[in-house]
Amino acid sequence: MTNPELQPWQWPEEHWRKVVNQVRAGRSLRPTHWPDNKRCAVALSFDSDHDSNELRDGGKSIGRMSWGQYGNRVGVPRIQKLLKQHDIRASFYVPAVIAKLYPDEQRSLTADGHEIGIHGWIHEQNSVLPAKDERDLMMRAADVLEEITGVRPVGLRTPSWDFSGATLAIEREMGLLYDSSLMADEDCYELMIEGEASGVVEVPVEWVRDDAVYFMTNRFSALRAYTPPEGVFDIFRREFERAFDEGGLFQLTMHPHVIGYRSRIWILEEIIRMAKATNDVWFCTHAEVADWCKTHPGEAS
Ligand SMILES: [Zn+2]
């Protein structure tokens, strides 16, 4: 073991290589082609955090919990209606506590063909948990989602994309098809665990394709929504257009209590309209794109 007193600039090469190799991007799983020979895949996702953003911090603010409840009362129904109008299926990541608070929401989404994926127990931060607690919570969370929806989840998005040194081993033990919390690429890839292929597909995310970073506000901190909706649309549009040109994957992360507002939902609607207008896009859930990429891996370009 390296002396814990050593500063990072004093670490021996063996040590910093070990740190980096805990979890690494392996082979690209960019596929040879998309279903029906479409040019581009579009995977929309919604993290239904609702009240859990406040509960995981001790549930001190009733006001912020009401903001979370908006996600259930207004955000999800508005998004669900829009997806239905356009006949698109998407992925929703739901903490177990939220699934228990709003079981009908999860059942209704499942009935519409959407995917419900694991998103922790109460939106806890994995990197501060003992590994055995993280494992226990993740397994219980999967069980809760299955009990409520009747479908065993096949994918995990770590709450806050917070990935611990134990997360990937737990995902592998659970036999999950994919993770969607890391950012080493824009197309799917296989996750490596200490230099070995794990068999787990990464459907990569990015802060740049996340509504929360542009729109979140906290009354008691300096955090304010600083990007106008037109600016957020412009970023998402450019991400889509380039993904389309390259024949790659366009993945988006949104939150019902963030994107669901009357003044913002049009961003999602416009992105869907644009993608549909090409007539050359495969709309898919994260589970579907992970499965496709795993079974149709192309040449790493
Ligand atoms: Zn979340």
Whole-number Å distance between alpha carbons of 195 and 188: 18
Q: Where are the alpha helices (DSSP H) in 102-246?
A: 103-111, 131-149, 167-173, 212-215, 229-246
Tell me the percentage of the chain whose pLDDT exceeds 90.
92
How far apart are the CA of 18 and the centre of ligand 1, in A?
29
- What pTM did the predictor assign? 0.96
Shortest CA distance to 288 belongs to which of 1, 22, 34? 34
How far apart are the CA of 6 and the centre of ligand 1, in A?
35
How far apart are the CA of 44 and the centre of ligand 1, in A?
15
118 three-state secondary structure: strand
How far apart are the CA of 159 and the centre of ligand 1, in A?
5
pLDDT of residue 291: 98
pLDDT of residue 222: 86
Strand-strand pairing, 189-193 and 196-202? antiparallel
How far apart are the CA of 138 and the centre of ligand 1, in A?
14
pLDDT beneath 70: ranges in the chain: 1-2, 299-301
How far apart are the CA of 27 and the centre of ligand 1, in A?
27
How far apart are the CA of 28 and the centre of ligand 1, in A?
26
How far apart are the CA of 10 and the centre of ligand 1, in A?
36
How far apart are the CA of 281 and the centre of ligand 1, in A?
27
Whole-number Å distance between alpha carbons of 105 and 217: 25
pLDDT digits (tens, 9 = 90+) for 92-131: 999 999 999 999 999 999 999 999 999 999 999 999 999 9
How far apart are the CA of 14 and the centre of ligand 1, in A?
35
How far apart are the CA of 48 and the centre of ligand 1, in A?
7
How far apart are the CA of 111 and the centre of ligand 1, in A?
22
